[in-house]
Structure formats: structure tokens, C-alpha cells
A and B are shown apart, each in its own frame.
Chain A
Amino acid sequence: EVQLVESGGGLVQPGGSLRLSCAASGFTLSSSWMHWVRQAPGKGLVWVSRINSDGGRTDYADSVKGRFTISRDNAKNTLYLQMNSLRAEDSAVYYCARNASGGSYYVHWGQGTLVTVSS
């Protein structure tokens, strides 16, 4: 069974940093593109970033470009999102999601980790 388990969320002050992790099991992480998607409380879904299978290609939403870094450690079956210079508008539940075989959509999602940026 495919499982994705996020961790690392919490309360952080504006301008601070957090690193989110997503532990994958039930499939070979190294064979999958992976994504981060976020959802502010009571709001819709917003794509954040993606990374290819070997980590050699990354893409970002304009709103996080230059502040967030996606990475992966296939040996540890773990995906990461390093978030720097955090703003109040980055407050959201962050989901990791596995790219489907048919394209950049998601069959498998984690349960999410909540990030709150507030002083």
C-alpha cells in the first residue's frame, strides 16, 4: 500500500524557516516525480513545486520561487520542502503527492502538515 506521511509543520514567525519532510513507502520513490500542494484554511488547492525522479529538475510556483527548495533523498525514501523567508500567506496545510503515471495529477496524497506563519 502506498503511503505518504508528512512532518515538520508548525508555528513559525514571519521571515523564519521550516523544512517539511514526506516519508514514502509502498512504492519505489526513485521512480516517481513528486509534488507539494498547499491549501490555506478554508481555501482551495494550490500547486507549490515538483521534482523529477532523480532530483535533477525542479519547478516552482512564482509565489514561492527563490524562497522554497524542493529536494529528495531516494535512498531514504523521503521528499523535502525547505521553506525560507516565510510569510503569513504561506500558512496552509502542505500535502506531498505522487505524480500519476498518466501525468501531473495525483492518485496518492499524504494527510498533510500544517504550517502557520504568525508572530
Chain B
Amino acid sequence: DIVMTQSPDSLAVSLGERATINCKSSQSVLSSSNNKNLLVWYQQKPGHPPKLLIYWASTRESGVPDRFSGSGSGTDFTLTISSLQAEDVAVYYCQQHYGLPLTFGGGTKVEI
């Protein structure tokens, strides 16, 4: 199984400041067939299902504000919120879809 390790478990950021979340996979999730990293990021607010933010490690889903960005390749990835807004308080998860079983990181709780 590909183990996804997120850090930190939680972080507190002031409004307007940058938040950085890390995700490390136990093996590369770079697909040789399309040269894309099979890594996505979700945001989940209490009582709601996750919402897709980023796919292919760095492509923003339609409608997602541009303060959210993803970077990284191979085994190391980062989700950055450039200027934290109140509505960004949530838990963030990474997920690999390189192989089965599909696996998620443990989540990072972002607070103000």
C-alpha cells in the first residue's frame, strides 16, 4: 500500500497569512504513462463531504480560488493557501490514485 503522510496534523494561521501543508507518499505517484502526479487535495468542513481543490498535484479544480495552489512531484507535495480567509478553516486531505488501495493522508486541520 502507498502510505500518505501529512504534516503538520494541525496549524493555526492568522487571517491573510500563508498556510502550508505537506504530503509525502511512501513511493512515487508519478505516472509514466502521462507524466502526471496522481495526487489530489481536498478540503473538508464539518458535516460536509470533501471538496476537490487540486488534481494532478497542481491543477486547480474549476471554481477554486487562486489562493489555493499545489506543488511537488514524485513523493513530496505541498498545498499552499497564500492568504488565509475565514472560510478556509477546514481539514485538508491529500489522496493518491496511483495504485490500489487508494489512500488518503491523515488530514491537516487549519485554524485561525
Contacts and interface: CB of A to CB of B under 8 A. Distances in A.
A104 B97 contact: yes
Nearest to A60: B101
B88 interface: no
A21 B55 CA distance: 28
A102 B31 CA distance: 12
Contacts of A35: 102
If over half of A's interface residues share one DSSP class (helix, strand or loop), that class is named, otherwise mixed; here it is: strand
Given A110-B49, A111-B49, A112-B49, A103 B97 contact: yes
Given A105-B97, A106-B50, A109-B49, A44 B55 contact: no
Contact of B55 (A47, A61, A105): A105
A62 interface: yes
Interface residues of A, number: 22
Contact of A47 (B49, B104, B105): B104
24 contacts: A35-B102, A44-B93, A44-B104, A44-B105, A44-B106, A44-B107, A45-B42, A45-B93, A45-B95, A46-B104, A47-B101, A47-B102, A47-B103, A47-B104, A102-B55, A103-B55, A104-B102, A105-B40, A105-B52, A105-B95, A105-B97, A106-B42, A106-B52, A107-B61
